[in-house]
Amino acid sequence: MKTIFGDSLSTRLLETQTTQALIRYAALNKMTHAGMPQSYKVA
């Protein structure tokens, strides 16, 4: 998380920091999901 987005938030208010962190985690989850291979069962 820190490597991609940095180690600090750019907002001052706690409410906006929470929103910014949630957006960062959502983006990180999308990037992680996009990089995962498609797997399927081989019979």
CA 34 from centroid of its chain's CA atoms: 12
Percentage of the chain modeled with pLDDT above 90? 37
Residue 18 has pLDDT above 90, yes or no: yes
DSSP annotation of 42 = -
Query: CA torsion 9→14→19→21, rounded to 10°?
Result: 40
pLDDT value of position 22: 93
Over residues 6-31, the mean pLDDT reads 90
pLDDT value at residue 11: 86
- The angle formed by the CA atoms of residues 32, 17 and 24, to the nearest 5 degrees, is 10
The tens digit of pLDDT for each residue in 1-14 reads 777 788 888 888 99
Angle at 30 between CA 27 and CA 15, to 5 degrees: 30
